[in-house]
Structure 1
Amino acid sequence: MNFSSFKEFKYGWRVVLASTFGIGLGMSPLPFYTLGVFAIPLTKNFGWGMDTVMAAMPVFTIGAVFAGPLVGYIADKIGARKTAITSVIIFSFTFMMFSFNTGSKALYLFLWAMLAIAGAGTLPMTWTRAINNWFNKNRGLALGLSLLGTGIFGSFAKIFASHLIDGYGWKYAYIGVALLPLLISLPLAYFFFRDTNDPKVADRVAKLRAEVPEYVSGNHSGLSVKQAFGDWRFWLLAFSFLLISFAVGGPIPNLEKLFSSKGFDVSDAVILASFLGYAVVIGRLIGGYLIDRFWAPAVAFILLSIPAVSCLILQTVDLSYTNAVIAVVILGFGAGVEYDLMAYLVSRYFGMKNYAAIYGFLYAFFGLGAGFGPYIFGRFFTETGSYNSILGYAAIAFVVGSIPLLFLGKYRTFKADTEEESVVA
């Protein structure tokens, strides 16, 4: 292996490290991965149905749909660093407020809406903006590494929340989970997370340019948001990510309940669901490495259609522990590709001029699928007592959502300081 090709990491590792913790302890994984764990005590203590608990996701999604593009625009204007740090603080305190609920459905849903608005700046669009500017040749791998946190901390958060609930109750568990970003990701972001246009890292950026001839700083090149809206590629990606995010996002918060319905006890259900995070880590690394070396849409088609198999396995009536692990690992592998793929494709097909804003709008479609998916899954279970039929629809969504990615065409390059684009031959 030629390690000289990884010189970008010599100068950009700090940003990758801060992003890994910032994304992993942010709005994307923490509420999403722990929802299924908190669902058990909430349904028990308040007498809510699973559909009531999962109704949080549509509310959360609607908040993210409005907040994501707005915060993306803000990040493009004032910088990713200020946006991310501010959001981490507000997000943490908002998450703590769930501990004050005494059974009010209205308060529960209101807090989910506020959480989406408060935490929008912790979404990958802010952190990956800096990653894309620090890395060119190893952009896919850097994005994969920075997004490892969703899998690592997703699995950890499930187990951590479960232990806190067992030992101290669900209210203290909310506080404990909410403290993670405040105590871990905030200090790392403050000291390490700086974009390439930050004066405090000017010397490091100059050395990067000198040592890595292939390095390209694209802070000011790319399409405007209006131009992106007029580009058919934007709507193709929106369609694909809407279906794929539904197929990936629908089962994940429901895994604990799904396994319980298959006869597993609560502790085994939580452990089985936690395997998802480990698979996400593997998917991030392998997916990031592959999209740096092969055409990303083809890699995405393969890796995002395979999880359809996991849905078919989970439909099994007498689901064994081994097959359950296999299904979760396959599903997690697909989940490990989606986020870094979106970041990579936005940078390659739309440029960096308005990266965060364009990412934010695409995330709105992604969020619609991921947000309404858990509720639809929960609704199917409430009405039928089984997840089997909705798992079949999810399997179809994986395949139908992956195929259009093959039509994206060649990567594009953008002329510096202009909004014109040219296609790489």
Structure 2
Amino acid sequence: MNRTKKFYGWWIAAASFIFMGMTTGFVFYGLPFFYDHYVNTFGWNRATVTSANAIAKIIGGPIFGILAGWAIDRFSPKRVMIVGTIFVSSTLVGLSSMTSLWMFYFFYFLNALGYVTAGPLPNQVLLSYWFNRLRGRMMGIAYVGIGVGGAIVPFLASSFTANYGWRWSLRLIGLMILAVLLPIAIFIIKSKPADVGQLPDGESPDDHLSPVRQTAKTCDEAPVPLSFALKTPAFWLIAIGSLFSIASVGGANQHLKLFFSKDILSHLSTNESEPMIAPIISLVLISSIAARLLMGYLADKFTKKYVMLIAYFATAASIPILFTVSRDNLNTAYLFAIFFGFSMGADYMLIPLIVADCFGVKSLGRLMGIIITADSMGEAISPWIVGHIYDITGSYNWGFGLLTSMALLGALAIVFIPYRNGVPVSRLHLQKLEQVST
């Protein structure tokens, strides 16, 4: 192993930061910014503009997520991310040219495919290969990219839309993603430390083969049989807990622009309300940056289950703040943005960390492929449900109440993940199986 080269993992962390910022920050937080333009241009209602994401992830998500997880483990994160970059860019360019509802749905299917092949899933596996001791912190830094990208895109989209219209705004963002990410995926990303003759965390061979390191190395390098994982309570509690929590986050996030523009600030024109909304939405993402850094650090220092519980209960506590927002009281909107952003920032990032904690990294792609599929379906369905409830009742009260209940259910599921003396019970059982087999 090469001990003289500077550790290449820092380049990997930087590449993941940029990838997460553009494939997830720009797209996930950018597309809802255009919902009101779809309503104005095509006359679609709220359930319709949120339905494409839901339908794509419900129908395509299970297939795309599982196949992407298998492809990442089989072919490498790098190869999958090259293809995924093209999918993501094509989604935005395609949406910029749509003229009918079927095109809207088609490009959201492409978006679902791009999300699992260039978004969090391949980056989670990539970083888990490159980092052991620093995994939580590096995952936090990469997820900061989502916050940075999400904080930038409202201003970027607002500026492009004001100067060139919403269609060219989408087109320019899509081409920007392709121009930046494709060279990074091809020339910078290396799937594993061994590809450049190095070890995780930049360790020397002597450090890596010490008793403590060797134990962690062995656990991480032993692939977990899918049949074993599916029989453990930990897997299903993580899947159910993250599904409900992310569904609540997605449901709130996808409706923020509509909530503020069409309800709270409905007395203002679009040109008047957008400059008032953009700072609130950006504050959500800025707050998420602090959460990712802090919670990534805490996840490396403390039991991941308890760190995760802080984030999940914070989600349940933040959504009810929206009930206090009114056109005469926008101050609580900023309070909501701070707390919701903090909980949202940690929510997504902690899932691969606790899965790796329970089952190691060798099968992380396949396990996260299943979990992300479930999470994506919840994240997609909840905005549609909230939109449908609004179309029936004319109010977000019942929808936001439902999201709060879902967040609480997600937190309760995490409470019951079995740990013993700070170690997942599933990992202890796996180690016993490995000892028996050897």
Q: What TM-score do you get using the length of structure 1 for normalisation?
A: 0.90
Amino acid at match of 1:262: I
Letter in 2 for 1:240: G
String of CA shifts for 1:1-39, please: whole Å, max 9, x gaps.
xxxxxxxx955211111111112211x443321232111
1:275 aligns with 2:288: no
> Could you list the per-position Cα deviations for residues 73-126 of structure 1 after superposition, in whole angstroms to 9, with x for gaps in the alignment?
011011111111221123212321112212x11121121112212442112121
Distance 2:429 2:239 in 1: 25
Residues 1:95 and 2:92 are matched in the alignment: yes
Q: Which residue does the alignment assign to 1:83?
A: 80
Structure 1 contact 141–292 (Cα < 8 Å) conserved: yes
**Partner Cα distance (2:52, 2:75) in 1:** 31
Q: What do the CA deviations read for 1:187-239 (whole angstroms, capped 9, x no partner)?
A: 2233332132543x114669623475465546631312222222221111111
- Of the three residues 79, 103, 106, the one matched with 1:110 is 106
Once the two structures are overlaid, the 10-residue window that deviates more, 371-380 or 202-211, is 202-211
Structure 1 residue runs without a partner (length 5+): 1-8
- Structure 1 counterpart of 2:15, one-letter code: A
Which runs of structure 2 are paired with 1:242-257 in the superposition (5 Å)? 242-257=243-258
CA contact (8 A) 2:132 2:200 kept: no
Number of aligned positions between the proteins: 410
Cα separation, partners in 2 of 1:80 and 1:144, compared to 1, 3 Å: same
- Which of 17, 21, 25 aligns to 1:20? It is 17
* TM-score normalised by the chain length of structure 2: 0.87
Contact in 2 for aligned 1:11/1:204 (Cα 8 Å): no
Q: Distance in 1 between matches of 2:184 and 2:113?
A: 22
The answer to whether residue 362 in structure 2 is matched with residue 353 in structure 1 is yes
* Contact 2:309–2:414 (Cα < 8 Å) also in 1: yes
The one-letter code of the counterpart of 1:293 is: K
Alignment partner for residue 263 of structure 1, among 245, 262, 265? Answer: 265
Question: Segments of 4+ in structure 1 off by > 4 A?
Answer: 203-207, 211-219, 412-416
Equivalent residue for 1:232?
Answer: 233
Mean CA deviation greater in 311-320 or 294-303: 311-320
Mapping for residues 39-50 of structure 1, pairs under 5 Å? 39-50=35-46
Structure with the bigger percentage of helix: 2
Pick closer, same or farther for the CA change 1:415–1:240 going to 2, 3 Å: closer
Counterpart in the other structure of 2:3: none
Q: CA deviation at 1:372?
A: 1.0
What corresponds to 1:302 in structure 2?
A: 310
Cα 1:211–1:88 shift into 2, 3 Å: farther
Check conservation: 1:307, 1:398, Cα contact below 8 A.
Answer: yes
Identity %: 26
Say which of 376, 399, 407 aligns to 1:367. Answer: 376
Q: Is the 2:7–2:198 contact (alpha carbons within 8 Å) kept by the matching residues of 1? A: no
For the residues of structure 2 that align with 1:341 and 1:113, how far apart are their CA atoms? 26
Supply the distance in 1 between the matched residues of 2:303 and 2:223 (Cα, whole angstroms): 20
What residue is the counterpart of 1:202 in the other structure? 197
Counterparts of 1:20-419 in structure 2, within 5 Å, are 20-26=17-23, 28-62=24-58, 63-102=60-99, 104-196=100-192, 198-199=194-195, 201-203=196-198, 208-210=203-205, 212-213=207-208, 215=213, 216-217=216-217, 220-260=221-261, 261-263=263-265, 265-316=273-324, 318=326, 320-408=329-417, 409=419, 410-411=423-424, 413=427
Distance 1:207 1:388, change over 3 A: closer
SS of the residue corresponding to residue 251 of structure 1 reads helix
Counterpart-to-counterpart distance in 2, 1:184 and 1:419: 46
366-375 vs 407-416, which moves further = 407-416
Aligned-pair distance for 1:413? 4.9
